[in-house]
Structure 1
């Protein structure tokens, strides 16, 4: 799974990472990586040493922050954490939107060996208390807007509001001369928790340039790009976008909350070269009223990189017809990082494909006896790369076969492209027939009246399980339950027809855009 040094060098040169600069800064850059490693603390320092005056972050409230300023503030965070009594190995929670202050806490904690648990902003009060207990938090720093959410945390956890934390930092002295801890702080990311309580998975620290090259060889990001990160940075994809931006010395553009019109305006006003988002965000972008001349104002945009869930059938081509062939969709997971990447060429060829594995990644489709299936046959997806996790913080893990981790999905390979057929626990058996809800979803979303749809399996006393469809219509559109069933009956086998259809104003989603199937099931069982 390793990538040759020749390939690493070639890709880095092609993406502008080996461009010559002032010799003393290049030497300082390499020394920082050697001293601090390839985690957040090291990547921040290499960027600050090489390009101190360049803008690191454009924050919607604080404005532009240079790499030198970001490093100074991060070091002040490190000092303040130590002054408050935090010690290496302890766990600090962070409940925050996308803003530069969150990045300062992430990098400052990493530099002094404190493990940072990134809390999902969609957690309820009870869920937050449960996760905080499971992750054994010492303290929690949170944005002021979450004052009510932290009410149930036990007194043993120190709770720090963002405004109070910022005030302490503003009064802090110049940072001390930090040295790397014996063990760098780990970042613990929570799984999406769409089927239960989120679990913590510690991110591995890259051991070299291999993981970076794996992504930028397939997704054409370049050094010093300007990147709008709309995906939440508390979760895998937004966090990965931040890591990539550090390595590329790119300018990160942040907005606390995603708003489709604000995101579109920012892409144009800041002339962004790239955008990192989750699929539902692009769906909301495409629902905005037509903007005459909009394409002309997005001339710099080369990459729109997404991950997190499947697109409605045909959507990727529709998006690229408007924004150009810039869309790259990554199929991955918290546990396996990346698995496959679909390029614009892949998505033009088949909008439903997951693409192919990037450099340094191995993907196998296995049957129940862990044997590789033939092309076209469905099996369990297993993946291996340099950043596959070692297990959850609870001590549990996922299935491994020959060093490859189970993704929890079923899929197949056809004509060299990989496809995801659904979660391995999504398939239902209705009247003795196997059914994957995604094949019904893909059909229904093609109906012009349907904005979005989710199909789930629920218990049935006669058939064992039955399909239930939850449909959201476009404004002003009309559709009946019989119309939905007729659409499926005309194009799918009889056992694929939903037994019931529910019309909703919107689908329940978590903060990372994934549909909460458990809430849909609970509404009818």
Structure 2
């Protein structure tokens, strides 16, 4: 019964008629999920897929991803989802790197697929979800095979899932997760209050670890998993009301969209017990508004693709009047996880209050990067810690993130953490969003620049923004220049792409990493 397939078999026996997966107008019971994934497993075997071979899904969020994951698990194969928003060149790079033998392709992506499929050397079978002329249709392909579970022997340390990093710093890397790591979710299940009575909504992309891991948590615990095809306010709010969603994970930018959606009051959100927010920092103002608008528990999760969830800021921490400063942290390590803050040059722990690099050792950690030993050695320590690249300090066990170490600004001899400046500027009533970067300075090496998205009803000037910062920050932390944009560049998980913001200023120059 090792692996995610074992849990599906178990729930199909215990709760055959209970819902397992829903999306749009479609619902699969546990028995249907078990039967369909056995058909899929037989189809993969016929296609020549063997244990530890790779299969890829390239499509929007759908319940088929979790069918593919379980069906592949029944033959011991490895599933990966590719970001469907990438350019054809980027899609080709990842699929070729993955050595995928079977690709499950969304119908709306067929035209893009045809522009690069000739470049792929390992893909032998293409199945289209939704059907397309000249391609095998997913439902037809399943229907041609018997619902016979191969019951392949799967070991705890076999790779089950391969997640590609978001690529904010370059070419994405394929983080590999064992069966043991994929299912090591007891601690987070308790924090999220998830069990077989829960209804979870997967609103994050399944090509991102937060989306895939929440769905797998549902499969392990026997919860009903509702898959939102996209994170639009209308789709999410309708799904919550229709299915009685009890828990979901959202990025702060989506929380903001929900709060500003005109029709939010017309949806019944009373079943919501917990909202977890993750993937990018949340401003204190947005958190205050969210706590006021939703009558449920809020819980922050921090981790990387390579670690999955490492720390949580629990609901009681959000409401503790004796320690309001904890709202600025990402909480404490979840059970069975060790979090250290170290001097990255020595690997020694730094004292409380001193900024160092976050290192994480968790049962959910990746095994390494697929076909990239050099990056694996640079990221994983000999004793099993992931070097996150995140700068942080600790206080009474709580982790206070500063910034990615590469994003920290060194102006003269002083360290400036962009998130501190961003939190101050985010309180300005005329600022909708803000990102802070370092730009070249002949005198100081680099100085602080604020990239601002103004609210539509405010006319802001550079002078006003700088003066506002000076009211709360030391002079060396304040912006020396301000640029106004209509929107900030983000990756599909909502993270601001500071690399893109910095590029025009550092082109042709070497920027030292803090």
Common fold: TM-score over 0.5: yes
Determine the structure 1 residue equivalent to 2:336: 360
**Residues 478, 415 of structure 1: alpha-carbon distance in 2 compared, 3 angstrom cutoff:** farther
Q: Per-residue CA shift, 1:286-327, capped at 9, x if unaligned?
A: 122375576xx3222111122211111232232111112411
Determine the structure 2 residue equivalent to 1:430: 411
Aligned-partner SS, 1:56: strand
Distance in 1 (alpha carbons) for counterparts of 2:91 and 2:458: 38
Q: Does 1:179 align with 2:146?
A: no
Determine the structure 1 residue equivalent to 2:497: 516
Distance in 1 (alpha carbons) for counterparts of 2:148 and 2:264: 51
Distance in 2 (alpha carbons) for counterparts of 1:217 and 1:379: 29
**Residues 133, 291 of structure 1: alpha-carbon distance in 2 compared, 3 angstrom cutoff:** closer
Match of 2:137 among 165, 171, 179: 165
**Residues 291, 427 of structure 1: alpha-carbon distance in 2 compared, 3 angstrom cutoff:** closer
**Segment drifting more, 176-185 vs 322-331:** 176-185
**Segment drifting more, 261-270 vs 65-74:** 261-270
Is the contact made by 1:120 and 1:234 (CA closer than 8 Å) also made in structure 2?
Answer: yes
Within a 5 Å distance, the mapping from 1:158-307 to structure 2 comes to: 158=124, 159-162=126-129, 163=131, 164-169=136-141, 171-181=143-153, 186-206=160-180, 211-289=184-262, 291-292=264-265, 297-307=268-278
Q: CA shift at 1:130, angstroms?
A: 1.6
Higher RCO (CA < 8 A, seq sep 6+): 1
Determine the structure 2 residue equivalent to 1:391: 368
**Segment drifting more, 133-142 vs 258-267:** 133-142
Determine the structure 1 residue equivalent to 2:38: 75
Distance in 2 (alpha carbons) for counterparts of 1:484 and 1:272: 41
Determine the structure 2 residue equivalent to 1:45: 9
Q: Which runs of 5+ in 2 are unaligned?
A: 508-514
Q: CA shift at 1:357, angstroms?
A: 0.8
Distance in 2 (alpha carbons) for counterparts of 1:372 and 1:177: 49
Within a 5 Å distance, the mapping from 1:117-136 to structure 2 comes to: 117-136=80-99
Q: Per-residue CA shift, 1:13-43, capped at 9, x if unaligned?
A: xxxxxxxxxxxxxxxxxxxxxxx31x22122
Is the contact made by 1:121 and 1:511 (CA closer than 8 Å) also made in structure 2?
Answer: no
**Segment drifting more, 299-308 vs 161-170:** 161-170
Determine the structure 2 residue equivalent to 1:317: 288
Count the aligned residue pairs.
485
TM-score (norm 1): 0.87
Determine the structure 2 residue equivalent to 1:29: none
**Segment drifting more, 143-152 vs 90-99:** 143-152
Determine the structure 2 residue equivalent to 1:489: 470
Distance in 2 (alpha carbons) for counterparts of 1:291 and 1:144: 32
**Residues 137, 222 of structure 1: alpha-carbon distance in 2 compared, 3 angstrom cutoff:** closer
Match of 2:18 among 51, 54, 63: 54
Distance in 1 (alpha carbons) for counterparts of 2:189 and 2:239: 23
Q: Per-residue CA shift, 1:306-365, capped at 9, x if unaligned?
A: 221111123223211111241111101111222210112212333221011111111111
Distance in 1 (alpha carbons) for counterparts of 2:185 and 2:380: 26
Distance in 2 (alpha carbons) for counterparts of 1:403 and 1:358: 17
**Segment drifting more, 146-155 vs 93-102:** 146-155
Is the contact made by 1:314 and 1:351 (CA closer than 8 Å) also made in structure 2?
Answer: no
Aligned-partner SS, 1:227: strand
Aligned-partner SS, 1:105: helix
Q: Which runs of 5+ in 1 are unaligned?
A: 1-35
Distance in 2 (alpha carbons) for counterparts of 1:170 and 1:389: 31
**Segment drifting more, 129-138 vs 376-385:** 129-138
Q: CA shift at 1:219, angstroms?
A: 2.0
Match of 2:444 among 460, 463, 488: 463
Aligned-partner SS, 1:160: strand
Q: CA shift at 1:232, angstroms?
A: 1.2
Q: CA shift at 1:440, angstroms?
A: 1.1
Q: CA shift at 1:75, angstroms?
A: 1.2
Is the contact made by 2:368 and 2:380 (CA closer than 8 Å) also made in structure 1?
Answer: no
Aligned-partner SS, 1:120: coil
Q: Per-residue CA shift, 1:122-164, capped at 9, x if unaligned?
A: 3211111122222223342221222243322315334433223
Aligned-partner SS, 2:289: helix
Distance in 1 (alpha carbons) for counterparts of 2:28 and 2:469: 53
Moved over 4 A (4+): 182-185, 290-294
Is the contact made by 1:347 and 1:353 (CA closer than 8 Å) also made in structure 2?
Answer: no
Determine the structure 2 residue equivalent to 1:448: 429
Is the contact made by 1:110 and 1:185 (CA closer than 8 Å) also made in structure 2?
Answer: no
Q: CA shift at 1:230, angstroms?
A: 0.5
Distance in 1 (alpha carbons) for counterparts of 2:94 and 2:79: 13
Aligned-partner SS, 2:95: helix
Determine the structure 1 residue equivalent to 2:350: 373
Determine the structure 2 residue equivalent to 1:8: none
Q: CA shift at 1:208, angstroms?
A: 10
Give the aligned CA root-mean-square deviation in angstroms: 2.1
Aligned-partner SS, 1:321: helix
